[in-house]
Chains A and B, each alone.
Chain A
Amino acid sequence: MKWLRFGVGLLLLAGLIALLALGPTPGGVLRHNTEHDIQATALFYMDLDEMPALEQRLEQLLDDKNNEPR
């Protein structure tokens, strides 16, 4: 009986994975994430590969802003 429960659970898990991996992506954000390969799973800022580039671009933007003639 317990192995049957395990089998059913495994099937449900596989179904969930298949649904999320192959099913529809509601809303623009999920499609945008997939198309642009955004790491929406990152738990901490260091997990993001793009973080240094984002920081650098922001730094540049702030510098440009500070150097603007007043």
Chain B
Amino acid sequence: MASPENRRSPLIALEDWWTVWFGIAIIVVATILAIAHYSGGVPLRKVPKLGDWVSSPVDVFNGSKKTQLKFKNDVTLGQLAEQINAEKLEAKTEIVPAAGGVRLRISSTRDEAGKVIKVFPNLMGGGKLHFTKEEVDPGGMGAHAYVSQVFPSESVNLGSGLLTITAQRTQSLIPSLIATAILLAILTAVGVAVMGKSAKQYVLAFVVVFLIAVFSYAVANQAQIKGWGLSYAMWALLVGLLISNTIGTPEWLKPGARTEMYIKTGLVLLGAEILFGKILSLGAPGLMVAWIVTPTVIIFMYIFGVRILKMSSKCLVIVIAAATSVCGVSAAIAAAGASRAKKEELTLAVGMTLIFTVLMMILMPIGIKASGMGDVLGAAWMGGTIDATGAVVAAGSMLGPRAEMVAAVVKMIQNVLIGLVGFFVALYWVTSVDRDPNAPRPSLMEVWIRFPKFILGFIGASILFSFILSPLFGALFGSDGIKLVETGVIKAVTNPLRGWFFCLAFVSIGLESNFRDLAKQMEQGKPMVLYVVGQSFNLILTLFVAWLAFSVLFPDVI
């Protein structure tokens, strides 16, 4: 006789489906909030992202605030200063005398810490306002201020436009952080309870896992550590591993370590960030570098790992291949979810990709400069090969502003591939890898039953945001729909929540892993050989295709 468990619909019994429901619930609420904001002037609600740890760890709870001051009507220099000061930022704006008139000076109220303020004034008044960065404390902490050009008086009209200031804010993030933790706990606890587990035990453990995630984010946001490119994933893993491999993960903490639930929900939310409208941002050459090389490298690495190295786990091979060829940690997560890889396999791939990303971020700009390679070609090469997006921008920035743009956009176009990679890996695993070789070809119904459902949520979110919400927002609010969706829905809600889910997942992986199992994955160094050979192939092929695209076929594109 079927048990009550078995009689329940998979739609409420399976974790896969619950992660889709969590994702849908978040996306629906975020979309409603954004529509309310754009149509009624309601303030935009944002999920908190921790701020930078500048001079003390407490800084992270102040967050940073990106303020966009929009001036529809003309403003004077004096009015602009007043408006900025009214923003409650840890920044002071003053009119200072200068030879031939006055200047606008924006500085941090905490001059001992240089990272507190950034100003992007280039859109103000159609370029009427320019700022230069002034070193306040040369050779010290790098404190700086932004000083405008000289104007005859403070009553000079600057016209209308946009001014963006990012600064540490005085308002504490703690209340909104607590609210986020409570909402996430309630949302996920509903699913956990319906799946037959104790919601009370889960919530208690969730609080501790969330606190470790906060710690991991805080360390990753330390001003100098941020420069190393070591993301919260590494710190979350390290703390989790430290606990599980020394005192052991306490029984009461285990219900909160729900790796798969966090990863899958995070992936559904990641789908919202895969906007297909982005793929032509750099025209045909960008598409060539990002979309020809990437699948070739994945297939090469998969064949090399399985047939030549004869690695025992195909899951580990595909996770390393995706991390190397697409976009590091996030691609590793997607491939691990799609192939149902073990936690230790994901940990190993993430560890390798983080270490090699730092090395490539440091060495590639040096090599490119030394070789005399053009900045655009060098940027496209780095955009196509360095695993992590942040590291690509950092390395690109070393070659100059044009290279920074090209590298970032090539990487962005490549990032979009993560959706297709996730989908095809899941399909291939269901139809080929996980199939009994002696069994007949699976029917469509069998494929549907075995297909990981959260991948549908992942792809569905991408399609929804790319082809429905973006045009809809454009039509409703008469502007660039993609940008509206990006700002109002993704950046405000789904992206920070995705970050929290991934961070919770890495804490959980650490708590559930032990070094002995991790060591078993090493297989006499085969994963390392796979990474090195695959990345070398990636470097050669990307350089060739980038040269073909940017120097031979489309030399004048940029």
Residues of A near any B CB (own CB < 8 A)? 2-3, 5-6, 9-10, 13, 17, 20-22, 25-55, 57-59, 61-62, 65
Would you list the 4 A-B pairs with minimal beta carbon distance, nearest first? A42-B390, A33-B227, A40-B229, A6-B246
- Chain B nearest Cβ from A50, distance in angstroms: 7
Do A45 and B227 have beta carbons less than 8 Å apart?
no
Residues from chain B with a CB closer than 8 A to the CB of A5 are 245-247
A21 to B222, CA, bound (A): 7
Do A20 and B362 have beta carbons less than 8 Å apart?
no
Do B224 and A22 have beta carbons less than 8 Å apart?
yes
Since A52-B486, A58-B405, A62-B282 are in contact, a sample of 16 more A-B pairs with Cβ atoms closer than 8 Å, ordered by chain A residue number, is A2-B247, A6-B242, A17-B219, A17-B225, A29-B394, A29-B398, A39-B226, A39-B390, A40-B391, A42-B393, A43-B328, A44-B270, A44-B415, A47-B389, A48-B393, A54-B408
Do A47 and B390 have beta carbons less than 8 Å apart?
yes
For the complex, would chain B's binding face be called helix, strand, loop or mixed by DSSP majority?
helix
Do B402 and A43 have beta carbons less than 8 Å apart?
no
Do A25 and B227 have beta carbons less than 8 Å apart?
yes
A32 to B398, CA, bound (A): 7
Stretch touching chain A among B40-48, B175-183, B230-238? B230-238
Residue B130 CB within 8 A of the other chain = no
Do A2 and B227 have beta carbons less than 8 Å apart?
no
Known: A45-B389, A47-B495, A54-B405. A26 touches B362 (CB 8 A): yes
Do B228 and A20 have beta carbons less than 8 Å apart?
yes
Do A38 and B483 have beta carbons less than 8 Å apart?
no
Residue B67 CB within 8 A of the other chain = no
Residue B365 CB within 8 A of the other chain = yes
Do A65 and B327 have beta carbons less than 8 Å apart?
no
Residues from chain B with a CB closer than 8 A to the CB of A13 are 238-239, 242
Do A45 and B411 have beta carbons less than 8 Å apart?
yes
Residues from chain B with a CB closer than 8 A to the CB of A32 are 394, 397-398
- Chain A nearest Cβ from B121, distance in angstroms: 11
In chain A, what residue has the closest Cβ to B219? A17
Residues from chain A with a CB closer than 8 A to the CB of B115 are 37
Residues from chain B with a CB closer than 8 A to the CB of A42 are 231, 388-390, 393
A51 to B248, CA, bound (A): 41
Do B557 and A29 have beta carbons less than 8 Å apart?
no
Residues from chain B with a CB closer than 8 A to the CB of A34 are 142, 223-224, 226-227
Do B227 and A40 have beta carbons less than 8 Å apart?
yes
In chain B, what residue has the closest Cβ to A62? B558
In chain B, what residue has the closest Cβ to A35? B142
Do A30 and B328 have beta carbons less than 8 Å apart?
no
A49 to B238, CA, bound (A): 26
Residues from chain A with a CB closer than 8 A to the CB of B211 are none
Residue B329 CB within 8 A of the other chain = yes
- Chain B nearest Cβ from A38, distance in angstroms: 5
Residues from chain B with a CB closer than 8 A to the CB of A62 are 282-283, 557-558
Known: A27-B366, A43-B329, A58-B405. A48 touches B389 (CB 8 A): yes
10 A-B residue pairs with Cβ-Cβ distance under 8 Å, sorted by A, are A5-B245, A33-B229, A33-B397, A39-B390, A41-B230, A48-B408, A51-B408, A51-B412, A54-B409, A65-B556
A2 to B245, CA, bound (A): 9
Do B327 and A44 have beta carbons less than 8 Å apart?
yes
In chain B, what residue has the closest Cβ to A20? B225
Binary CB contact string for chain B from 340 to 380 against chain A (1 if under 8 A, 0 otherwise):
00000000000000000000011001100000000000000
Binary CB contact string for chain B from 475 to 492 against chain A (1 if under 8 A, 0 otherwise):
000000001001100110
Which residue of the partner chain, among A35, A48, A65, contacts B390 with CB atoms under 8 Å? A48
Residues from chain A with a CB closer than 8 A to the CB of B288 are none
Do A29 and B361 have beta carbons less than 8 Å apart?
yes
A58 to B410, CA, bound (A): 11
Which residue of the partner chain, among B230, B273, B405, contacts A46 with CB atoms under 8 Å? B273
Scan residues 502-558 of chain B and give those whose CB is less than 8 A from a CB of chain A. Answer: 502, 556-558
Known: A29-B395, A65-B558. A38 touches B227 (CB 8 A): yes
Residue B60 CB within 8 A of the other chain = no
- Chain A nearest Cβ from B400, distance in angstroms: 12
A50 to B229, CA, bound (A): 16
- Chain A nearest Cβ from B82, distance in angstroms: 25
Residues from chain A with a CB closer than 8 A to the CB of B270 are 44
Do A40 and B327 have beta carbons less than 8 Å apart?
no
Tell me which of A13, A43, A52, A61 has the highest count of chain B C-beta atoms within 10 A of its own C-beta. Answer: A43
Residue B66 CB within 8 A of the other chain = yes
Do A43 and B330 have beta carbons less than 8 Å apart?
yes
A49 to B114, CA, bound (A): 18
A50 to B407, CA, bound (A): 13
Do B246 and A29 have beta carbons less than 8 Å apart?
no
Do B330 and A44 have beta carbons less than 8 Å apart?
yes
Residues from chain A with a CB closer than 8 A to the CB of B245 are 5, 9
Residues from chain B with a CB closer than 8 A to the CB of A54 are 393, 404-405, 408-409
Which residue of the partner chain, among A3, A30, A44, contacts B273 with CB atoms under 8 Å? A44
A2 to B242, CA, bound (A): 11
Residues from chain B with a CB closer than 8 A to the CB of A31 are 227
In chain A, what residue has the closest Cβ to B239? A13
- Chain A nearest Cβ from B53, distance in angstroms: 8
- Chain A nearest Cβ from B501, distance in angstroms: 12
A53 to B281, CA, bound (A): 13
Known: A17-B219, A30-B362, A45-B411. A40 touches B228 (CB 8 A): yes
Residues from chain A with a CB closer than 8 A to the CB of B166 are 49
